[in-house]
Every structure is written in structure tokens, then in C-alpha cells.
Amino acid sequence: MRNTKVVTLEEAIRRSGLKDGMTVSFHHHFRGGDKVVNLVVGKLAEMGFKDLHLAASSLSDVHTPLIGHIRNGVITKISTSGLRGDLANEISHGLLKEPVVFRSHGGRGSAIASGELHIDVAFLGASSCDELGNASGCPRSENAKSICGSLGYALPDARYADHVVVITDDLVAYPNVPKSISACDVESVVVVDSVGDSSKISSGAIRDSKNPRDILLAKQAAKVIINSGYFKDGFSIQTGTGGASLAAVKYIRESMLEKGIKASFALGGITAHMVKLHQEGLIGRLIDVQSFDKVAAESIATDQLHQEVSAVEYASADHVGSAVHALDIVILSALEVDVDFNVNVLVGSDGIIRGAIGGHPDTAEDSALSIIVCPLLRGRIPCVVPKVTTLITPGKSVDVVVTEYGIAVNPGRPEIAQRLVEAGLKVVDINDLAAKARSIIGEPDTLPFGDRVVGIVMDRHGKVLDEIHNILD
Amino acid sequence: MEIKNAVAGTLESGDILVQIAPGEGLQVDLQSSVSAQFGRQIKAVITETLEGLGIADAYVKATDKGALDCTIRARVTAAAVRATGKDVWKD
């Protein structure tokens, strides 16, 4: 092949024109199995870069090595949807001088498209890529090693970054079609041993729960859906991360069969449960911004009706054509919900960052019915509280909260409360749930927050929604 | 009351591991995953439970994984029964 773009990582970085102080970006489709961030940032450190802004679609436990790169001044700013593990703990204690900027997936897509988040060089892991840069998250040869399925969160980066480097562990013959990332957007292709461990995609927040309480909550959420008034032929649905919300779809299946109701599409993070319903003919289309497990990643590779969407097409508030605007029902989890129905999915009740915004505020705002599923308590940590530690999804976007002690409905949606009561479900006042939690755990002491701002939460429209302060020991 | 070394509980999430040893006065050494918000309350429950069993001298090491008060009382009581040999449920 002529004019090959295939070079070493070091050469790709040199060619990109990257300078100190610039912004580099990454996607998180390999979730806990990602190898690209650590590999690339390690190389950037080795080459002597300083003061870089790392703009990832999300970061997780596996990115602990970034702590060293922050201490050494290689990374001085981070934008992400989430943070977990030791990195999150260190940042919560004030590791970074500049606050981390947290955006939802739709908010990040919008910010990249509008130029508010400008990316100088994007380093995008891909499961297959040809020598010209046509890249995909799907396997295209018997040598495929790391399969992630949809590359939805990488697509705004590929389109809008000044310079795009695709990193792959399976270089295939041209043309690698169908492609997710177009060769026209790609400057360099780097071949490495492994871009990610696919077996670790379905871990952490998207495990398949066997916890009996999660199953109880999932069954309750299913009853809410079925009796909400939105469970009609042609409805659309999304399930967020968290055992109970992912499992809820299992329990609406029987009702769909019984009543002859079919869904027009399922959106968002696509799971094996969704693929099964699609293959049974119960869900017409799968619109996949992120494949949550191996089954979903395999389905998107072979099924025409299982389509990839970019983060912008998925959840941008700026585009009336984004998919969330057509979404009927979304089931989401929460770390905390307060008595005003505000939700926190980012900062733990101990004040330490331990989660990700994801598509939570995007889908909650634009869907017709948003259902939050969470237990009343996790150990001694209350999930229904007087006021959330950090505001992520405003209460006006949240319609129903399902707990094992009852179902609370936003007073702004009395018609839903009435339907659920008529169906015999236990509808309670959210203030009573918060009081019940307090009666079991007692009154918590105030968290020892410091004066420094370690994180800024942007809403999906580009405005500051909340600040996260450092936590003192 | 004579105190021997004794243990009750586990390190599972939602439980507390309570270790009791001889000591002077009641000394509670607590490690907890929820210490910032609940450390004070957990120590108070441990102390009250021991005092209620008539134990005034003991060293208690507690490793808490978010246990509720009822669990803490049960584990402290079980550890105290093992430490003193006095069965508070029968006697």
C-alpha cells in the first residue's frame, strides 16, 4: 500500500505536532480493560511532554498510573465523565491543582462539536484498522484480539480533533468496512500488542447482578414501566449502568410477550439482555453508543439493525435530532437521590469521587419517563437523603424513584403516581423514604470538605451545575 | 469481670469484626469505611453495649464495613460473651 500511515507510537506523536499544554483525548470503550490511556500517556511522559490536558470520555480503576504522571507534571488538567479507584481518591484529596471538568456523554459530544472542548490530538483505540485509517470496534480477521463493538464515544474526537491517531492491535487489509472512523479523519495508525482486554468491559458498574435486592428492585422497576402509561406497542427504552437497572429489562420481557407489545428501539449502552430481546423480535432496533458486553459487541458486528451512534447523535442537547429526544423510558441508578428528586451518581457519601455521570442527565431530561432505581441503604450509607452531596441530574428531570421500601413519584407527575397506585404498587412520599433511612442509620456527621475545588460538574447545556470540594482526612 | 481475647463478626460488607482483649477502662479502636459520617455513633454503640453487659475494662478493636447499629450490638455482645464466658442470653 502506498503512502502508508502506519508508524510507531513515538513517530505518530512526533508527526502530530503535539506541544506542551495541548489537549489529548481518549475513549473508554474498553472500560476496565483499557490499555491505550496508560500506554500513550506513558510514552508522552517518556518523550518529555508536560502540562497536558487529558480529555477522556471516561476513566476508571485501571488508570491508577496517571497518578504518577500528574505528580510529574505530565498531566495537569483532566476532563472526563467519571473517575474511579485510587486516581479518584487522590484527586478527591487534592492531587490536581486544576479542577477536573466533568461532563455527561451528551455534554462532552456537544462541547467537542461546538469547539468549547478543543482536542489537539486524539488517540483512539480500535479493534481493527486498515493501513489508511478506516477503523472499527468490530473484529475483521481471525487475528482480532480486543473487541469493543460500538466506538460511539470516540466519534466526536475522530471528527473534530485536529489530529487523529488510531491505535489498533489488528491491522487488516484495506478496505476495513463497514468503518466507524473514516480514513479521511485519521493521520496516523499505530499497531500495538493489545489495545484492551475485552473480558473486562462487562465489569464494575455493568456486571450482571445476582444480588437478591437488585433483583427485587429490578422487578419493581419492571412493574413501574408496565403500569406507567408508556408501555405501549412501539415504545423505546434505555437501561443505565447498575445491576438493578440493567436487569429490569429481563422482567418486562414476559409482559411484552403476554400483551403482544414490541419496542421500536433500545438505546444507549447495549447489553446481552437487549440483544436477546432484539433477536426474539421484541425490540426492533438497537442504537448503540457503547457495547456493554461481548454479546452486544458481537451483535453490532453482524446485525444491520444494531447500529452505532456517536455521542452527539446519542445525547446532545444541541441537536433536536439526537436519539434521547425520541426516548420514552429510561431506567437509571443513583448513588444518592434527595427529597427534591435531585440525583448524584459521581461523588460517594464519603465525599470521594467514585462514579461517572455517563448519560444520566441527558437521558433523564429528554426521555418521557425517567425511573431511578436504588436501594434505601447501601450498608450504612443512605441512598435517599435530604440533599445530594453533588448535583448531577436535577430533580425536574427525574420522574420516579424505586426503592425496596416503596416507590416515590415526582409531585410534578401526578398522573404517573395515580396509575401506579391504581396498579396496586406501594407509592410513598420521598420524604418518608429519607426519614426511614435516617431512622435506621442515625444522623450522619458533616463531611470534612476543604476549601479547594477539585471538580466542576458541567450540565449538558454547558453551564456549571455544581462544584466538588477536596475532602480532608 | 475477667476478660479473655475473643472475636465476633466478619469483614463482609455490612458487617463489623469486633476483637476484645483485656484492658483498663474501655478503649475502642475503630476502623470504619464510614468513619467520617458515623465513627462517633459506632463508638458510642460499642461502648454502650459493653457497659450494658457490665464490662468496664476492655480493649476493643473494631473493623467496620458499614454495619447497622443492630449488627454492631449483636457482634459486640457475641464477642463479650466469648470474652467473659458469661452467657447473657441464658443467664
Interface of A with B in 381-410 (CB under 8 A): 381
First to last CA, chain B: 15
Residues of A in contact with B41 (CB under 8 A): 442
Average pLDDT estimate for A213-227: 95
Tens digits of residue pLDDT in A70-123:
999 999 999 999 999 999 999 999 999 999 999 999 999 999 999 999 999 999
Q: How far is B72 from chain A (nearest CA, A)?
A: 11
Give the three cell numbers for residue A70.
Answer: 500528574
Rounded to the nearest angstrom, the minimum Cα separation between B28 and chain A is 19
pLDDT digits (tens, 9 = 90+) for B34-86: 999 999 999 999 999 999 999 999 999 999 999 999 999 999 999 999 999 98
For range A220-236, the mean pLDDT:
97
Q: What's the rounded Cα separation, in Å, for the pair A106 and A160?
A: 15
Do residues A110 and A460 make contact, with C-beta atoms less than 8 angstroms apart? yes
Pairing of the two strands A381-382 and A384-385: unpaired
> pTM of this prediction?
0.94
Distance between CA atoms of residues B54 and B56, nearest Å: 6
Average pLDDT estimate for A19-27: 98
Q: Is A67 on the interface with B (CB under 8 A)?
A: no
* H/E run at residue A384: strand A384-385
Closest CA to A137 of A155, A121, A119: A155
Give the count of beta carbons closer than 10 Å to the beta carbon of residue A7: 17
Cβ contact (<8 Å) for A351 and B36? yes
Query: Residue A204: what pLDDT?
Result: 55
The complex scores an ipTM of 0.89
Q: What pLDDT, on a 0 to 100 scale, did the predictor assign at position A243?
A: 80
- For residue A210, the model assigns a pLDDT of 80
What distance in Å separates residue B1's CA from the closest CA in chain A? 32
With CB atoms and an 8 Å threshold, state whether B38 touches A350: no
Is the predicted pLDDT of residue A1 greater than 60, yes or no?
A: no
- Angle in degrees, 0-180, between the axes of helices A212-227 and A414-422, rounded to the nearest 10: 110
From CA A192, how far away is CA A255, in angstroms rounded?
Answer: 47
Which chain A positions have a beta carbon within 8 Å of B36's beta carbon?
350-351, 445, 447-448, 471
Nearest CA in chain B to A437: B68
Secondary structure class of B54 (helix, strand, coil): coil
Given an 8 Å threshold on Cβ–Cβ distance, is A448 in contact with B36? yes
**pLDDT beyond 90 at B2:** no
Cis (ω within 30 of 0) for the bond into A178?
yes
Which residue of B10, B12, B31, B37 is the best one to mutate when testing the A interface, meaning the one whose CB has the most A CBs within 10 A? B37
pLDDT score of A307: 97
Closest CA to A166 of A211, A212, A132, A203: A132
Q: Is A14 on the interface with B (CB under 8 A)?
A: no
CB contact under 8 A, B38 and A380: yes
Q: How far is B11 from chain A, CA to nearest CA, in Å? A: 12
